[in-house]
Amino acid sequence: MAEEFASVWTRPKRRRREQPALSQEQIVAEAIKLLDADGLEALSMRRLGAALGAVATAVYWHVANKEELMELVIDHVYGELEIAELSNSEEWRQGATDFAHSFRAMILRHPWMGSTLADVGVTYFGPNVLRMSDSMLALYEAAGFDLLEANQASTAVLAYVVGIASTEAATLSKIKRSGMSATDWMTSVWPAAEQAAEPYPRVKALYAAHSATETADNGDETFYYGLARVLDGLEARLATQR
């Protein structure tokens, strides 16, 4: 018999007579602060306890292990997402666009999220994650998809956003470690990139068409272009069903 899946959201809540020294909200806020500063690899229960000025038992009262901590942290971050309710079905594309921008911005604020998102939606059952999933299904149902295809449409858009934003987040983390601005970092890398591209005519021409500064600043343009093409495809699919 398969072992029952363990989650902070499904296990029975612990009870005690006295008030815990730390609240769950304090623990989650400090964990996010550490993650934003130093990344996923740097977070440990011991370091979290030290940052909170608390003994380990105070932290373990709320979470059994780092996996449960991450469930709480990820759900909290999902609460930052903006999901508008549609007043009519014709607004679905704008709603999808706004949500995609909100999701990308969330990942760029918390670059460590890029490496955790593969599990979200399968093993994360927090209220903010489920609220987001339900709202996205409603949005694509409003567009004209049935429930199963609404899920596929939402997954396709999220896959694009997560893919490109995770790459951006990894670059931001590398730039942060360098201590440079994005423009200065790109300027330092650019000569090596141009030299490496010398034997490859199309890549060489592409690099020649842009400066280091332009390349550092074109993240928004690249994101908008790809998102628009994904949504074009969904609109074309809807047109075949009418």
Domains along the chain with CATH numbers: 24-78 (1.10.10.60), 89-241 (1.10.357.10)
- Mean pLDDT over each residue of the chain, to the nearest integer: 88
> Is the pLDDT assigned to residue 232 strictly greater than 80?
yes
Q: Please tell me the least confidently modeled range out of 4-13, 82-91, 107-116.
A: 4-13
- Mind listing the pLDDT tens digit for each residue in 43-85? 998 899 889 887 767 788 888 889 899 999 999 999 999 888 8
> Is the pLDDT assigned to residue 199 strictly greater than 90?
yes
Q: CA torsion sign, 125 to 147 to 155 to 94?
A: negative
State residue 106's pLDDT score.
96
Q: What angle do CA 155, 156, 160 make, to 5 degrees?
A: 110
Chain centroid to Cα 171, Å, comes to: 14
Residue 20 confidence class, pLDDT cut points 50, 70, 90 = low
The contacts found for 156-159 with CB under 8 angstroms, 24 or more apart, are: 156/230, 156/233, 156/234, 157/96, 157/100, 157/227, 157/230, 157/231, 157/234, 158/103
pTM of the predicted protein model: 0.86
State residue 8's pLDDT score.
79
